[in-house]
Each structure stands twice: as structure tokens, then as C-alpha cells.
Structure 1
Amino acid sequence: MSDLDDIADPLALENQVCFALAVAARSVIAVYRPLLEPMGLTHPQYLVMLALWQHAPLSVKDLSRLLQVEPATLSPLLKRLEASGYVHRPRASDDERTLAVTLTPAGRQLRSEAEKIPPTIVGRLGMELSELQHLHQVLMQVIAAANDANNAQRAAR
């Protein structure tokens, strides 16, 4: 007997992990939106900038791996960030096929403004930092488990 047998209706919307994750993601991103708009960033662009502030320069391939998105998804984001003056995408000197994404001075300067975002988000969510850190740990476990399941499915094909 599995734990699912204890749930009255395993197909009820309110019992779905995917539903809770989807609604939580949309709701949390909505909390970020008014903080990012004055900076001229969308949430996906903010994630790109976070990766670059930590690791720049990065190839598009490495950025894709860090953010766990397809390179084709990054291309329009990077073009808009470049048009905003936050990043530059020169060809790598050792491999003309590779774009090396770097921060411009304006992109580096934007970091000091962005440093205000995490404490503001914690305050607006009204949750203890320890609760959010625990949630992050659990979500990272969910991501790893889902990645493992997806990889197993691909291997079985």
C-alpha cells in the first residue's frame, strides 16, 4: 500500500504537486516583477544576470546548462539584454562558433541595484529566511528527482 492510497482523490487539483509548483512559481515571480521593471528586466533576464554576475564570462552553452534552459531559449533574452546595454556577446577568440557572454560596465553596475532584491522579496513574502532556505533545499531535491526521472525516460526510449 502506497501513501497515495491515503489520499481521498489522487486526481484532485489541490493534491497535484505540479499545480502547487506552477501557482507558486507564477505568484513568486509576480512579487519580483515590480522590483525588476525599474531595472528594465524580466524575471528570465534577471536569472541570466544572476548567472553572469556570479560566473561571467560564460559561453551560451554554459549559461544554458547553469539555467537549465535550451540555448534557443536564451538567444532572444541575450539579444534584449545586449540591446539594453547590459551584456555583450562577442565571438570567442579561440572558437568563432562560440559566443562569450560578458557583462558591460552598465551590467556590472546593475548588480548594486539588484542586491536590494533578495531582502525585499523575503520581506514581501512574510516568511522566515530559514523557511525559504528549507523550501529552496526541498525544491532542489524535486528538481534533481525530476531530472533523474526525465533522464531515465530518455534512456528507456
Structure 2
Amino acid sequence: MENLKTPKLENQICFPLYVIAKEITGLYRPFLDELDITYPQYLVMMVLWENDGLTVSHIGDQLFLDSGTLTPLLKRLEAKGFIARKRNKEDERVVEAFLSESGRELQKKACEIPGKILEKIDVEPEDLVQLKENIQKIVSKIKK
């Protein structure tokens, strides 16, 4: 039998990434609760705040979500009055998402969140920029 080495948690890159994602998402929770949205809904709203009127597939591409995951998120955001989904007039198979007035108002409230998160984690902004750039390099290599 080969001399197999059991993987150790402390040697895995996936574990600290999992922990930081879970912990940072948890930091967002109280701020997002005030806005009555979840973290995944917040991600969708950020995409729409940058570019209103995107197709569902484009939103999914940006967030690395399939339509089976994204559609329920969009339905809940629509039920809360933050977005409206409409079929494209030229191609009715294509669904587009648009911000409502409430969705635009939500954007104003959400502008405070990044600063509040920075205060909570007490890390130098340059360190976060470097971390983000390194993670994005890895993501781009994985998605090739």
C-alpha cells in the first residue's frame, strides 16, 4: 500500500477561505437585517446598483450563480418591492431585472455598510486590497 498522508486541516487553503467568508458574511448580517435583505440578496442588489436592467443570466455570470439559485433570490427581492422582473420584448425567453424606487432608496442606506464593516474588522485597507487582488487571481485561474 502507498504511503498516503492524511490531509491536515491546517494545510488546506480551502479552510481559511471558508472561515473568512463565513465570518465576514456574519459581520454583514446585522446591517443587512436593518435593510431586510440577506447577504446573497445584497450581492444581487449591488450588481443592479452598478448596472440596472441586466438579464438574469448576466447577473448569474457576475455572481457565479446558476439560474436555479438566482431565480428564488430575485423572486424574494421582487416580493419585497426592491426590483421588478420583466421579459425582454424582442426575446421573451430573456428575463431582465430592474430596480424599483424602493431598490434605489435601499442603495442610499447600503452605502454606509462598507465603512461599518471596515470599522469592525480593524484591518489596514491596503491589506484588504492585496487580499482581494490575490483571491481574484486565484478565481480567474480556476474559472479558465
TM-score range (shorter-chain normalised) is over 0.9
Q: Answer 1 or 2: which has greater helix percent.
A: 1
TM-score (norm 1): 0.86
SS at 2:60 equivalent: helix
1:99-110 correspondence runs (5 A): 99-110=95-106
Q: Which residue of 1 aligns with 2:138?
A: 142
SS at 2:7 equivalent: coil
1:61-140 correspondence runs (5 A): 61-140=57-136
Q: 1:10 to 1:144 in 2, by over 3 A?
A: farther
Q: Which residue of 2 aligns with 1:36?
A: 32
TM-score (norm 2): 0.94
* Distance in 2, Cα, partners of 1:66 & 1:33: 22
Is it true that 1:20 corresponds to 2:12 in the alignment? no
* Distance in 2, Cα, partners of 1:76 & 1:117: 24
Q: Where in structure 1 do 4 or more consecutive aligned residues deviate above 2 Å?
A: none
Amino acid at match of 1:80: R
| 1:10, distance to aligned residue in structure 2 (A) | 7.7
Is it true that 1:47 corresponds to 2:40 in the alignment? no
Query: What percentage of residue pairs aligned between the two structures are identical?
Result: 37
1:3-26 CA-partner distances (Å, limit 9, x unpaired): xxxxxx782101100111111100
More displaced, 138-147 or 81-90?
138-147
1:43-75 CA-partner distances (Å, limit 9, x unpaired): 000000000000111000111111111111100
| 1:136, distance to aligned residue in structure 2 (A) | 0.6
* Distance in 1, Cα, partners of 2:127 & 2:6: 27
SS at 2:123 equivalent: coil
Amino acid at match of 1:94: E
* Aligned-residue CA RMSD (Å): 1.1
Amino acid at match of 1:27: E
Amino acid at match of 1:87: I
Amino acid at match of 1:64: G
Gaps in structure 1 of 5+ consecutive residues: 1-8, 149-157
SS at 2:127 equivalent: helix
Paired residues, number? 140
